[in-house]
A and B are shown apart, each in its own frame.
Chain A
Amino acid sequence: MTERVAITGIGVVTPIGIGIADFAAALRAGCSGARRITAFDCEGFDTQIAAEVDDKRFDAGSYVEPRKMVKHMSRSATFAVAAGALARRESRLRPGDVDPYRVAVSLGAGGMGPVDLDLLAAQGLAAIASSRGRDSDELDIPAFAREFRARTNPISMLRGLPNLAAAHLAIQQDARGPNNTITTACSAGTQAIGEGLRAIQRGDADVVLAGGTDAMINPVGVLGFSMLGTLSQRNDDPRHASRPFDAGRDGFVIGEGAAILVLEREAVAKARGATVLAELAGYGCTCDAYRITDERPDAEAAVRAIRLCLEDAGASATNIDYINAHGTGTQMNDVTETTAVKTAFNGCGVPPMSSTKSMIGHLLAAAGAVELAATVIGMMHNFLPPTINFEMPDPACDVDCVPNVARCARMGAALSNSFGFGGQNACLMVRRW
């Protein structure tokens, strides 16, 4: 039998709490992190709400050594590094406990660091404006290059690279093993944790700092998702805007943050007497290979990901006591996900399935990681996190979504689902240790 993989630490930076104690309390209380956007002037935007990490409570520099490293980090990198520091503290894994070359990083992250994308876009536009010939709309490339060089600090280019969040996490935690970044959009965090599990199973690492991070609450990010028609426009009532499985849902609320989990080979965790929070028991992933933003209506590939995950854990559907849904609150996702779980659990009934996105919003590349964290926290503290804002049932989403109020329950095993634009489906299973 394969050696088990333990989760020995969790660190989170979320719109409803930083660190697992705050996060757990907010999940149990059913708090919403959505509000009117404060990151920029959103007047005139179709969507003017988001679930932001409160900068009054988040001081990136306090997690970073030396402090100037913050300057080289995108906002998403600061979230990853902070979550990593919190997870490491929680795990009580000390520098001498494990060879640094046996500590890997597996991180779900967005593409370009969005704040820096804004910066570059602004500088690029300025350069274009000042280089454009008076009588022509043609762009003068040599003039553009001159302007761009004069206006752009070279370090802003480096901040935007998608792999840099994982690199910063490794620098801060002296993680010298394999260092991978997964950019599969909304399923990135889940896949990063699954691939972290695999890295331990195939012998590449003894400890993996695995999770996801994202920060897309900026003009480009909000406009982009808004133009795709995926965001809620319930601007006058932000706290009730994210309403997965409810008949009145009108899209997701964009969120930001990170979660990092310390995954650890069983023998290593035991040898140092670690406290194990849960077992990371299984992982399955597939791709729809169908359309870019439409899901297969029969959810066949999503069903397969769930079944592969159960099989990987040596479990059956009847073992599962709770599912943390992808549950975005878009019309399509919630219907297709309902179809997927009903098919995958055919014959034994779908267990309670809630969407914590109702509280924290959709954290995109961080979503799966934060949601697995929420699942493990529920398992540790014997409650199922609720789906808040559930008022009117949708017959096409007839699952027990743990409406509005957290439920006391003992979970033996649970799943967490993620489905990304592009058709990537991923599922993780955790089990009581």
Chain B
Amino acid sequence: MSHGSPMVASGDLAEAVRGIIAEVLMVSPADVQLDTSLVGLGAESIDFLDLIFRIEEVVGKKVPVSGWETFINKRLPGADLSRAITLAIVVEFAEQERSRR
């Protein structure tokens, strides 16, 4: 279950998150584009718990599930989450968590 060092360089973060999503949803990384809907790939709520747990390894710190929920509510208010949660959104969240003090 190793997803690379916590000290992922900025440009590599998107690639690392793409790899994690591919592992979590057991699809090929090529199937996960920046605008691909995760729910469209089969993700359900439990998969987001898995995703957040694995993102901790990439960002090198504890990532609370409540932080994800807050992020989504602020970032995507009123959106259809079955379409709106994409790789790009998860990368944004990971960047936020990495820079959080």
A68 part of interface (Cβ distance < 8 Å): yes
Q: Are A158 and B46 in contact (CB under 8 A)?
A: yes
Q: Complex: how many Å from CA A155 to CA B50?
A: 6
Q: Are A153 and B50 in contact (CB under 8 A)?
A: yes
A232 to chain B, nearest CB (A): 36
Q: Are B26 and A61 in contact (CB under 8 A)?
A: yes
Q: Complex: how many Å from CA A70 to CA B24?
A: 11
Of residues 50 to 72 in B, which have CB atoms within 8 Å of A's CB atoms? 50, 53-54, 62
Determine the residue in chain B with the shortest Cβ distance to A71: B26
Q: Are B25 and A68 in contact (CB under 8 A)?
A: yes
List chain B residues, Cβ under 8 A from A153: 1, 49-50, 53-54
Q: Are A72 and B24 in contact (CB under 8 A)?
A: no
A154 part of interface (Cβ distance < 8 Å): yes
Tier of interface size on chain A: 10 to 19
Chain A interface SS verdict (over half)? helix
Q: Are A71 and B50 in contact (CB under 8 A)?
A: yes
Q: Complex: how many Å from CA A150 to CA B49?
A: 13
Q: Are B49 and A154 in contact (CB under 8 A)?
A: yes
Contact among B41, B46, B54, B62 with A72 in the assembled complex (CB-CB below 8 Å): B46
Determine the residue in chain B with the shortest Cβ distance to A151: B53
Q: Are B53 and A68 in contact (CB under 8 A)?
A: no
Q: Are A154 and B50 in contact (CB under 8 A)?
A: yes
Q: Could you give, for residues 119-162 of chain A, a 1 whenever the CB lies within 8 Å of some chain B CB and a 0 otherwise?
A: 00000000000000000000000000000001001110010000
A131 to chain B, nearest CB (A): 16
List chain B positions with a Cβ less than 8 A from chain A: 1, 24-27, 41-42, 46-47, 49-50, 53-54, 62
List 7 A-B pairs, minimum CB-CB distance, nearest first.
A66-B42, A68-B26, A154-B49, A67-B26, A153-B53, A68-B25, A155-B50
List chain A positions with a Cβ less than 8 A from chain B: 61, 66-72, 150, 153-155, 158
Q: List 20 A-B contacts (CB under 8 A).
A: A66-B26, A67-B26, A67-B27, A68-B24, A68-B25, A68-B42, A69-B42, A71-B24, A71-B26, A71-B50, A150-B62, A153-B1, A153-B49, A153-B54, A154-B50, A154-B53, A155-B47, A155-B49, A155-B50, A155-B53
